[in-house]
């Protein structure tokens, strides 16, 4: 084949060469956003809107009041309306916030957030476009102005299309988003909307959430704690979490005049003394030159030098875990267990410099049924009324930055950690058949998700180990509780056995001694009741088991 014919072939091939927008990419690959399967797709839609609502309320310092209403409009077709009492969206930004993929306030900030990529709500608009060809209807009030509009996406250009904009009365505060979606299905299962919102209430005890399902039945997930969670602060990246490309990106936008000042001003824990240490190690780097002239070779040498310096641990102001007391309150309020224990680990790091915190809780058995908690919601079903024993046993409740992870559990660090524990050592003979829920939340400025759908945490060794330590801590508390319960049951069995023979023994002793049977029986009962008094007054603490340290 001649050179000319080769060129012709290449020209022919590249006639099909085209550029595509990110919206067009996700139209073809919507499963990467979590839209795979009808039940999962509906849950993901609610998840994206509710997550945005909680984030917005927290940013504004408002206790979230969130309502989700789902109605069936056709075969595998539903409308979803989610409303909140948050700060709302300014009219000028409604289109970009809800109709432009990878637009938002979160991606560039080094701080813990539920959503990070700017895909969520815009992904919902995209999903409506491709399944019903209908726009999302938005109603927003910031307190200063209120408006409504329709939002869709120009998929070819990833640009928002905003129409029917109109001012509305300022008789509410917050955001109301409503859309109609196809290829979805509502189902009461472990992967459905009810379970998602129930777990959201567990991890966000400061939120009040209401669900109205397609039958019109309303479920109330009441607020368990009225204090706002600690607001995470944006911090500078830690040098041990950096790669060469990160260093180049930061350097080329830095306002510093020298590499040395760039390092101290752009990253946490980098002092002038640390720069002096780096100079002795990275001898090939000119620390006096403009950081904008930093080369790839310079960046590689600096990253290698970072690994040879002993650094202070990363700042943790950027992390906001749920809180031990708050988790305890939520577990008791939502799951209503017979026993609960919660542990919070100290901050740790993975990949050298990314800080994270693990919280773990265990809920075992079921207490007495709870009463309707809110007199004003008499038509609603209180979430705590339902025993989780009736819905299955042995569950791992996974969370990342207070967001439930309902899907892709097999390849998740939380699943690896919890399933890797020898539960028999803690009195659990078969995890899958016992009435036990293990709740784990991982909080970090960067959660290493294993996919764009953000439903599983990558099995990083440091994260798995911290989860195991936290779960084993609460498992030891459960072991002591179960030992006490089983000891009490054994004592009660002995008591009943002895009491069964009191009457006959009293009669026999009466015949032998001549003492009245009634007096002997009364004395024997008094002796037995005295011996077993502690069992009935404080059975759980009648006898502590060993603590089962690992």
Asked if 111 and 232 count as a contact pair (C-beta separation under 8 A), the reply is yes
Q: Which residues contact 345 (CB under 8 A, 6 or more apart)?
A: 357, 358, 359, 360, 466, 469, 470
Q: Does an H or E element contain 529, and which?
A: helix 517-531
pTM of the model: 0.77
Of the pLDDT bands very low, low, confident and very high (cuts 50, 70, 90), residue 462 is very high
* Average pLDDT for the chain: 84
CB atoms within 10 A of CB 4: 8
Q: Does an H or E element contain 123, and which?
A: helix 120-131
The residue among 467 and 348 whose pLDDT is bigger is 467
**pLDDT of 105 above 90:** no
* Highest-pLDDT range among 94-108, 187-201, 511-525: 187-201
With 0-12 CB in 10 A as exposed, 13-18 as middle and 19+ as buried, what is 258?
A: middle
CB atoms within 10 A of CB 19: 6
Residue in the structure block whose two tokens are 């476009």: 129
Of the pLDDT bands very low, low, confident and very high (cuts 50, 70, 90), residue 547 is very low
Q: What is the pLDDT of residues 306-351, one digit of tens each?
A: 999 998 877 778 888 999 999 999 999 999 999 999 999 998 888 7
Q: What's the CA gap between 307 and 215, in Å, rounded?
A: 58
Q: How is residue 334 annotated by DSSP?
A: I
Of the pLDDT bands very low, low, confident and very high (cuts 50, 70, 90), residue 378 is very low
CB atoms within 10 A of CB 69: 17
């Amino acid at each position: 084949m001649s050179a000319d014919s080769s060129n012709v072939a290449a020209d022919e091939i590249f006639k099909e060469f085209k550029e595509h927008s990110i919206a067009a990419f996700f139209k073809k690959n919507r499963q990467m956003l979590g839209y795979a399967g009808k039940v999962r797709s509906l849950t993901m839609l609610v998840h994206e809107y509710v997550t945005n609502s909680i984030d917005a309320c927290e940013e504004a310092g408002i206790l979230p009041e969130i309502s989700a209403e789902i109605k069936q409009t056709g075969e595998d077709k539903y409308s979803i309306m989610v409303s909140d009492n948050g700060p709302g969206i300014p009219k000028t930004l409604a289109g970009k916030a809800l109709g432009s993929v990878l637009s938002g306030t979160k991606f560039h900030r080094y701080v813990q957030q539920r959503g990070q990529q700017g895909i969520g709500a815009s992904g919902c608009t995209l999903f409506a476009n491709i399944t019903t060809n209908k726009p999302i209807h938005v109603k927003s009030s910031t307190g200063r102005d209120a408006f409504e509009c329709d939002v869709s996406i120009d998929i070819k250009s990833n640009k928002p299309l905003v129409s029917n904009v109109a001012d509305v009365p300022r008789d509410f505060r917050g955001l109301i988003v409503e859309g109609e979606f196809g290829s979805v299905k509502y189902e009461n299962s472990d992967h459905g909307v009810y379970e998602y919102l129930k777990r959201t209430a567990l991890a966000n005890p400061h939120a009040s959430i209401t669900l109205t399902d397609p039958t019109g039945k309303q479920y109330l997930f009441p607020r368990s704690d009225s204090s706002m969670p600690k607001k995470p602060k944006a911090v500078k990246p830690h040098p041990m979490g950096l790669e060469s490309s990160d260093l180049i990106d930061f350097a080329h936008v830095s306002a510093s005049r020298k590499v040395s000042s760039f390092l101290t001003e752009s990253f946490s824990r980098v002092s002038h003394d640390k720069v002096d240490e780096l100079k002795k190690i990275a001898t090939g780097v000119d620390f006096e030159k403009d950081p904008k002239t930093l080369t790839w070779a310079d960046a590689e040498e600096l990253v290698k030098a970072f690994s040879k310096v002993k650094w202070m641990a990363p700042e943790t102001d950027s992390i906001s875990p749920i809180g031990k007391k708050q988790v305890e309150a939520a577990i008791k309020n939502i799951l209503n267990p017979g026993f609960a224990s919660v542990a919070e680990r100290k901050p740790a790091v993975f990949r050298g410099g990314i800080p994270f915190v693990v919280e773990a809780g265990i809920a075992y058995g079921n207490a007495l049924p709870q009463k309707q908690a809110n007199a004003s919601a008499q038509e609603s079903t209180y979430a705590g009324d339902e025993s989780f024993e009736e819905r299955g046993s042995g569950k791992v409740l996974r969370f990342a930055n207070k967001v439930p992870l309902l899907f892709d559990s097999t390849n998740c660090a939380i699943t690896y950690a919890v399933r890797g524990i020898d539960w028999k050592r803690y009195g659990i003979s078969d995890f899958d058949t016992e009435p036990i829920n293990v709740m784990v939340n991982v909080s970090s400025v960067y959660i290493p998700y294993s996919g764009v759908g953000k439903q599983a945490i990558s099995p990083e060794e440091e994260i798995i180990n911290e989860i195991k330590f936290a779960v084993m801590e609460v498992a030891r508390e459960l072991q002591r509780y179960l030992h006490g319960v089983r000891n009490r049951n054994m004592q009660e069995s002995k008591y009943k056995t002895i009491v069964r023979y009191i009457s006959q023994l009293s009669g026999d002793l009466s015949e032998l001694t001549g003492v009245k049977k009634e007096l002997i029986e009364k004395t024997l009962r008094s002796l037995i009741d005295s011996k077993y008094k502690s069992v009935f007054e404080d059975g759980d603490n009648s006898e502590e088991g060993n603590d089962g340290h690992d």
